[in-house]
Amino acid sequence: MAKLIVYLIQAFICLTVISSTSRLLSKREEDFLEQFGYLSPKKDGEERSNEELRQGLLSFQKYFYLEETGNMTDETSALMAKPRCGSPDKEINKLSRYLSTGYKWTGTSLTYNYLNYSSDLTENETRQTIENALKIWSDVTPLEFTEVSEDGDIKILFQGGDHGDDYPFDGPFGVLAHAFYPTGSVLAGDAHFDEDEDFTINGEIGIDLFQVAAHEFGHSLGLDHSTNETALMYPYYTGYIADFELSQDDIDGIQSIYGMFS
């Protein structure tokens, strides 16, 4: 009897190993595809088939112009591992790349305030960087931004890990920040930055706050991600760029929502 029990236990372990190794993706990779919109959310206890995982992976590969194998390749894995924005690449029920119902502010005079400041920079450095990041959008549209002491349209937060919005940050070099579209929710327009990152300015070693903030404010204004690697709204962090200018792709996107500068 004892030998039978041992045999059954060994058989169970063997089947578990076979089952786990036959899975197309790791849990981390599956969670990644769900987080960024390539797999629909699943219910607790539900398990996706390999075909569902393959389709999600194919969708990711197609979105970023990777070789469409439906299997995890070195190129696919390397892109998944790069620092990036936490907002999804693929939104459900989007009407166009740039604008979905409710994804814009009704006016052009917007306010912003700080819930706190980055511990990596001085308060003045943070404020000047944020002002510059907003200015790139107001330079090409009728939008105007004014800093207020509280209750701004766009609230700015620096905090790591779980920070109260159901989208916890994951530590250094993963998700750098995320922002919320102007949809009418209590978080509409808000931009959150992962304080576990080492935010820097002016090309110093670290994560360039201007580049990250300018991208996130694109979401705060209603822009979706772009697959154009030269665009600010490309979801992956591309590093510090001296004398930064918006690409035509970004300009076309923001002006399709708010019109041209007048």
Residue pLDDT, tens place only, 5-39? 434 444 444 433 333 335 799 999 999 999 999 99
Reading the block at residue 64, the tokens are 């970023």
Number of domains in the chain: 2
Specify whether 182 is located in the same domain as 234. yes
pLDDT of residue 103: 79
- Is 25 among the domain residues? yes
Dihedral angle sign, alpha carbons of residues 128, 208, 94, 30: negative
Cα distance between residue 108 and residue 217, in whole Å = 14
Specify whether 20 is located in the same domain as 115. no
Of 81, 99, 133, the domain-final residue: 81
Specify whether 35 is located in the same domain as 160. no
Specify whether 242 is located in the same domain as 180. yes
Count of alpha carbons within 13 Å of 87, Cβ hemisphere only? 29
What DSSP element (H or E) covers 239? none
Q: Name every residue whose Cβ is closer than 8 Å to that of residue 262 and which is 6 or more positions away in sequence.
A: 142
45 band by pLDDT with thresholds 50, 70 and 90: confident
- Is 92 among the domain residues? no
Specify whether 56 is located in the same domain as 156. no
Specify whether 68 is located in the same domain as 119. no
Specify whether 226 is located in the same domain as 171. yes
Of 64, 81, 98, the domain-final residue: 81
- Is 89 among the domain residues? no
Three-state DSSP class for 192?
strand
- Is 99 among the domain residues? no
Cα distance between residue 62 and residue 138, in whole Å = 33
CA distances 83 to 86, 208, 234, Å, are 9, 12, 12
Specify whether 61 is located in the same domain as 164. no
Q: Among 75, 76, 34, 80, which Cα is nearest to 173's?
A: 80
Q: Which residue has the tokens 């907003």?
A: 134
Three-state DSSP class for 126?
helix
Instruction: Please state the length of the chain.
Output: 262
Specify whether 72 is located in the same domain as 197. no
pLDDT tens digit string along 185-244? Answer: 899 999 999 999 999 999 999 999 999 999 999 999 999 999 999 999 999 999 999 999
Specify whether 141 is located in the same domain as 244. yes
Query: Does the pLDDT value for residue 66 go beyond 60?
Result: yes
Specify whether 117 is located in the same domain as 55. no
Q: Among 31, 89, 98, which Cα is nearest to 62's?
A: 89
- Is 12 among the domain residues? yes
Specify whether 39 is located in the same domain as 161. no
- Is 97 among the domain residues? no
CA distances 198 to 3, 159, 164, 205, 257, Å, are 57, 12, 21, 9, 33
Q: What is the CATH number of the domain that holds 159?
A: 3.40.390.10
Average pLDDT value for the chain:
88
The domain of 77 spans 2-81
pTM of the model: 0.87
Of 81, 98, 125, the domain-final residue: 81
- Report, as residue numbers or ranges, the catalytic residues: 216
Sort 175 into a burial class: Cβ within 10 Å, 0-12 / 13-18 / 19+.
buried
- Is 48 among the domain residues? yes
